[in-house]
Amino acid sequence: MRKSGSSSIGAGLRRRPSVTTEEDEAFARLGEARAVFGRSLHVRTIDTGSCAVCESEIRLLLAPHYDLHRLGLFFTPAPRHADLLMVTGPAVRAMDVALGKTYAAMPEPKVVIAVGACPLGGIYPEDELVHGRLEKVIPVDVFVPGCPPSPLALLQGLLVAVGRLREKVTGFSFSEDFGVLDPPGRIRKGPDR
Amino acid sequence: MSTTLLWTAAACWAAAAVVGLGASKRAFIFLAASESAAGGLAALVGGVLLALSGRPSPELSATGGANAGQLVGNLALRATPLSAAFIVLLGLVALAIGAFAPRYHGPGTGTAVYLCVYNLALLASLAVLVAADVTTFLVAWESMTLACALVVLRHRGRHGTATGALWFLALGEIGFGMVTVAFVIMATQCHSLDLATIAARAGHVPVTWRDSAFVLALVGFGFKAGLVPMHVWLPAAHPVAPADGSAFLSGLVVKLGVYGMALFGFQLLGRQPTWWGLLAMALGALSALVGILYAMMERDLKRFLAYSTVENVGVIVAALGAAMTFASNGQPQLGAFLLLVALYHVVNHGAYKTLLFLEVGVVEHGAGTRDLDHLGGLVHRMPASSVISFIGVLGIAALPPLNGFVSEWMVFQGLFQGFRLPGHVPGVLFVLAAATLGLTAGLAVMAFTRAFGVGFLAMPRSRQAAQATEKGQPLFGPGVLATACVALAIGAPAVLVALDHVVRGTIGVDLRPQLLAPDLVVIPAHTNFSGFSPTYLGVFIVAVAAVPVLLYFLARPRGAARRVPVWDGGMVHFHAGLQYTATTFANPVRVIFQRFYRPDVHIDRASEDPAGRSGPVHYRMHVLPLFENYFYRPVIRFFRRLGHVLGRVQSGDVNWYLFYILVVVVAAYFIAAR
Amino acid sequence: MALWFWRGLRKGVVTTRYPAVTDPWARGLPTPPVFDPKRLTVAIADQAVAACPSQALAREGTLLLLDLGACSACGRCLAVAGPAARPSGLFELAATSRGHLVKSIQIGGPAEGGI
């Protein structure tokens, strides 16, 4: 992935040299989208069978504490007006037609965000009722883990999708030396990041 | 020149009536229809020339010789400027229907009789319009009524036809009776049968006689014109008549009632008290509102258009009444203006109503049904007819830039100037009338949006509508009327100049300086009130609409476009049953006005399961026919009972009959001996 | 009137300043675990894999694979792994590629002779 550098908005336009990998293709797609969208974006959410807690967190984004509108992001019910599709839920097979029609109705360029653990393959394994992974149904550009992802995590996901924040998760290894333990049995709380 | 043309028209129609009798062969249908159309053209041009001349044509009276004349007495014909406007309409309607008929009617004896009777009706209508004395008028009127009843009876085997024709005839005869009494009153008081002489001498007739003559004429002609509550024959007779028959009825025959009212209101009765005009205006405004309210609830396109005719006749009569009020209260300019507006609306309504009825005929033949809830999607299957119908719908809904908008605007501008009248009561009544007509106009837009939207747009709601076709259907006749609608709007200044000649010839007031400012602006009789230019409005609307189209073609992105289906909310299967129906579209109006409609609603469910799985649900809603139930049925029941009572006199017993003869002989002896 | 309005009048602007500054309460969010490779054994790893209800943990030889996308931060692996795992406190986990969310932890510390 890209080396750490400036976090300016035009950063997505910088191309990596020659070798085409899956990451490069995703990055190129997002870069093209970022060039077109500029600073303002309309988001369409769709629920493919979630428990609606992710929807609660998404709805909280419009509240004054998080205030999505100050970032130039707006919700719209019409996929024709939407640039970005936020999908929650484990891609229930019964929603295939609706999800396909919603995705097709959005004009290019468009960005898809998979929100929560469900569309990323967690909680519900693939069976005759669900696909489990959203990537099996429509192409996904940004993945936002969490169950549910807090509004701050959602904000980070949206800002990554529009190229205003850099992706951070590649820099974390989730493997570290804890050092000396506290008195036996007590787990020390992690530092702020 | 105009007289020659009118005689030509009459001759053409007489010939068409004869030729039409041979309509078992298709060629005869074509020939009869062409002659009818030619007669229409002649009447149209003759009427225009007559209107422009502004003078009545020379009188022609034929006192029949010993052979023929004694049967009908004098036959006196004179075409006045007032009749010129109606003759123009008659010509236009005859021309359009003549062009429509060959592709609509199939050969057969039914068509033969129909074509003969229809052309006789045209002839009789012309005779009504050019009648110069009372007898000619009444004979022509009655002939016209009878011919029209036979027109309605074209499909006499079908369900409902006999009832419709009976309503038409019965109410026509009641009206005829009242009109006869009104004419007789004036003729005896003025000691003459000649209409011009009556007009000259009307001032000497005592007021009570003139009042009764006016009320009888208003109600009597109102039966023919379709004023509420005399309108009930319209929704009964229009659906059962053939399409061009209904077009003729709504396009012309109801206007003959208006002609009669204008005749009495402006010519035959001399000076008038204020309450005549106010009564006519109130009745007109009420008819307009009731008409459009019932129209909104109709699923059958022909009944819908019939009620819409009631609405428009209400507007015309309201304008006439307002004109009479202004003329009798020291505002001759406004009186002349509103009379001009009423005549303009007569021609406009004739044009677009005839167009719409002809198009309903095309739809019925193409899609097999007239029921709005079984139509839909016709704009894809029948594009030319849809465009023509759309022009008619724009006109009748009074949307700019078409002719309906121009005449409605002028009606409102005339009514808004009611403040110029002395006294508070007329002023308040004018405001109420204007408000009622405003509500009517709004409801009319909604009603015609419903008719055109549900009937023509979106997806077809039945297999018949999905297979509709306009191949082999008439296009030229409705096309002529659509062109006329546009011409009457864009060329409104020219039309108003012609009508100004008519008004000047009728009541002697010249509107010219205060009707048309330079730059083609129409002003309502007072320069400091308002004004607009229909010509420039039409040009402006077309130009403004063209700008986005031009921008699109210049600036559209080149390159491949991705086509996806219309966004339907992501539904798995969107089908025609999910669309609005005509009933649901009009539901808000039904709920708001439910004290007026008093609808009878039945809901039948297959089961009581509340979770949406109850199976088919049947919804039936029937609007209460107020006037039939509370006005006419009691009268009919009363006469039935009277008939039963009187029927006992005809007992069949010879002894009773001999007793009656004895009683009559004795009574005659005593009367003669006095 | 909305409570936030009164709170705003008392405290001033209450909108978060994220992304410039993170909210302090974010410290308490449930987050995926971080593992200490030296304290991790194959037995503990297998117990954690069995405890996860969300298919987020898997063991491949001596690698413990943690799928951050599938993790629902339920904490069962934390209860089972004891001193080998603790909550990470990291919630800014958005990724542009699915592969970026799969982390591998070497069981028993770094392998001998380099990675």
In this complex, the residue of C4, C36, C87 whose CB is nearest that of residue A177 is: C36
For chain C, the residue count is: 115
B668 domain residue, yes or no: yes
C3 domain residue, yes or no: no
A125 domain residue, yes or no: yes
What contacts C106, CB < 8 A, 6 or more positions away? A175, C37, C62, C63, C64, C115
Whole-number Å distance between alpha carbons of A126 and A90: 9
Token pair listed for B393:
């719908």
A9/C contact by beta carbon, under 8 A: no
Tell me: the pLDDT tens digits for B625-641?
999 999 999 999 999 99
Which candidate, B128, B77, B110, B409, places its Cα nearest to that of B252? B128
Contact: chain A with chain C (3+ CB pairs below 8 Å): yes
Tell me: the pLDDT tens digits for B194-248?
888 898 888 888 999 999 999 999 999 999 999 999 999 999 999 999 999 999 9
B648 domain residue, yes or no: yes
Cβ neighbours around B582 below 10 Å, total: 27
In chain A, how long is the greatest CA-to-CA distance? 59
C5 domain residue, yes or no: no
Report the pLDDT value the prediction gives residue B518, as an integer from 0 to 100: 73
Q: Where are the alpha helices (DSSP H) in B207-331?
A: 207-225, 233-237, 243-248, 254-263, 274-296, 301-327
Contacts C27 to A, Cβ<8 Å? 189, 192
Which candidate, B32, B150, B143, B168, places its Cα nearest to that of B97? B32
C10 domain residue, yes or no: no
| Structural domain total, chain A | 1
A28/C contact by beta carbon, under 8 A: no
* Phi and psi torsions of A85, nearest 5°: -115, 120
Q: Where are the alpha helices (DSSP H) in B368-382?
A: 378-381
Which residues does B contribute to its contact with A (CB < 8 Å)? 562, 564-565, 567-568, 570-572
Token pair listed for B328:
């009798």
B662 domain residue, yes or no: yes
- Please give the residue range of the domain that contains residue B645: 629-673
B14 domain residue, yes or no: no
Q: If you ran DSSP here, which 8-state letter would residue B632 be given?
A: I
B191 domain residue, yes or no: no
Question: pLDDT band at B505, cuts 50/70/90?
Answer: confident
For chain A, the residue count is: 193
Token pair listed for B294:
């019932």
DSSP for C4-64 reads HHHHHHHHS--S--TTTS--GGGGGS---EEE-TTT--HHHHHHHHHH-TTS-EEEETTEE
* pLDDT exceeds cutoff 70 at A9: no
> Token pair 């659906």 is at which residue?
B239
CB B247 within 8 A of CB B168: no
Token pair listed for B510:
């010249």
C76 domain residue, yes or no: yes
| B25-34, Cβ contacts within 8 angstroms, sequence gap of 24 or more | B25/B107, B26/B102, B26/B107, B28/B107, B28/B112, B29/B101, B29/B102, B29/B105, B29/B107, B29/B111, B29/B115, B30/B102, B32/B101, B32/B115, B32/B119, B33/B98, B33/B99, B33/B101, B33/B102, B33/B115, B34/B98
Tell me: the pLDDT tens digits for B317-372?
999 999 999 999 988 889 999 999 999 999 999 999 999 999 999 999 999 999 99
* pLDDT exceeds cutoff 50 at A126: yes
pLDDT (mean) for C56-73: 94
A174 domain residue, yes or no: no
Report the pLDDT value the prediction gives residue C60, as an integer from 0 to 100: 92
Please tell me the distance in Å from A104's CA to the nearest CA on chain B: 7
> B297-327 burial, b if ≥16 CB within 10 A, otherwise e?
bbbbbbbbbbbbbbbbbbbbbbbbbbbbbbb
A156 domain residue, yes or no: yes
Whole-number Å distance between alpha carbons of A126 and A128: 7
> Token pair 């992706």 is at which residue?
A167
Contacts C4 to A, Cβ<8 Å? 63-65
Please tell me the distance in Å from C35's CA to the nearest CA on chain A: 5
Cβ A97–B568 below 8 Å, yes or no? no
As a whole-number percent, the residues of chain B with pLDDT over 70 amount to 97
* pLDDT exceeds cutoff 70 at B584: yes
Cβ A97–B572 below 8 Å, yes or no? yes
DSSP for B26-49 reads HHHHHHHHHHHHHHHHHHHHHHHH
Q: How far are the Cα atoms of A170, B323, B410, B572, C21 from residue A178, in angstroms, in the given order?
A: 20, 100, 90, 54, 26
Cβ B570–A78 below 8 Å, yes or no? no
| Structural domain total, chain B | 1
Q: What is the CA radius of gyration of chain C?
A: 19
Q: How far are the Cα atoms of A49, A50, B333, B476, C70 from residue A125, in angstroms, in the given order?
A: 13, 14, 86, 67, 10
Please tell me the distance in Å from C27's CA to the nearest CA on chain A: 7
> B89-102 burial, b if ≥16 CB within 10 A, otherwise e?
bbbbbbbbbbbbbb
Tell me: the pLDDT tens digits for B250-293?
999 999 999 999 999 998 888 889 999 999 999 999 999 999 99
Give the mean pLDDT of chain C: 88
CA angle at A84 for the pair A158 and B549, rounded to the nearest 5°: 140
Report the pLDDT value the prediction gives residue A60, as an integer from 0 to 100: 93
Cβ B562–A108 below 8 Å, yes or no? yes
| Structural domain total, chain C | 1
Please tell me the distance in Å from A18's CA to the nearest CA on chain B: 28
Contacts C108 to A, Cβ<8 Å? none
- Please give the residue range of the domain that contains residue A49: 20-162
Whole-number Å distance between alpha carbons of B85 and B83: 5
In this complex, the residue of A123, A141, A150 whose CB is nearest that of residue C54 is: A123
What contacts B108, CB < 8 A, 6 or more positions away? B23, B24
- Please give the residue range of the domain that contains residue C50: 22-106
- Residue type, position B22, single letter: G
A190 domain residue, yes or no: no
- Comparing C53 with B515, the larger pLDDT belongs to C53
Query: Which of C71, C76, C96, C100 is the best residue to mutate to test the A interface, defined by the most A CB atoms within 10 Å of its own CB?
Result: C96
Please tell me the distance in Å from C104's CA to the nearest CA on chain A: 8
In this complex, the residue of C37, C73, C94 whose CB is nearest that of residue A143 is: C94
Tell me: the pLDDT tens digits for B5-15?
898 999 999 99
Please tell me the distance in Å from A48's CA to the nearest CA on chain C: 17
Tell me: the pLDDT tens digits for A138-189?
999 999 999 999 999 999 999 988 888 888 898 898 988 887 765 555 555 5
Model-level pTM? Answer: 0.83
B63-67, B228-232, B312-316, C66-70: lowest mean pLDDT where?
A: B63-67
What contacts B599, CB < 8 A, 6 or more positions away? B590, B621, B622, B623, B624
B652 domain residue, yes or no: yes
B635 domain residue, yes or no: yes
Contacts B572 to A, Cβ<8 Å? 97-98
CATH number of A97's domain: 3.40.50.12280
CB B34 within 8 A of CB B71: no
**If DSSP states are collapsed to H, E and C, what string results for B428-493?**
HHHHHHHHHHHHHHHHHHHHHHHHHHHHHCCCCCCHHHHCCCCCCCCCHHHHHHHHHHHHHHHCHH
List all chains that touch chain C, counting a touch as 3 or more CB pairs closer than 8 Å: A
In chain B, how long is the greatest CA-to-CA distance? 109
CATH number of C102's domain: 3.30.70.3270
What is the number of H-type helices and E-type strands within chain B? 29, 6
A178 domain residue, yes or no: no
Compute the count of residue pairs across chains A and C with CB atoms less than 8 Å apart. Answer: 187
Give the mean pLDDT of chain A: 82
A68 domain residue, yes or no: yes
Whole-number Å distance between alpha carbons of B470 and A12: 58
Please tell me the distance in Å from A171's CA to the nearest CA on chain C: 10
What is the value of ipTM here, to two decimals? 0.86
Question: pLDDT band at B478, cuts 50/70/90?
Answer: very high
Cβ neighbours around A62 below 10 Å, total: 14
Query: Which of A162, A178, A182, A192 is the best residue to mutate to test the C interface, defined by the most C CB atoms within 10 Å of its own CB?
Result: A178
Whole-number Å distance between alpha carbons of B436 and B430: 10
Contacts A101 to B, Cβ<8 Å? 565, 567-568, 570
- Comparing C85 with A26, the larger pLDDT belongs to C85
A66 domain residue, yes or no: yes
Contacts A78 to B, Cβ<8 Å? 567
3-class state of residue B417 by DSSP? helix
CA angle at B104 for the pair B99 and B110, rounded to the nearest 5°: 115
pLDDT (mean) for A56-74: 91
Cβ B570–A99 below 8 Å, yes or no? yes
A104-113, B7-16, B514-523, B624-633: lowest mean pLDDT where?
A: B514-523
Can you state the percent helix, strand and coil of chain B, rounding each to 5? Answer: 70, 5, 25
Tell me: the pLDDT tens digits for C19-57?
888 888 888 899 999 999 999 999 999 999 999 999 999
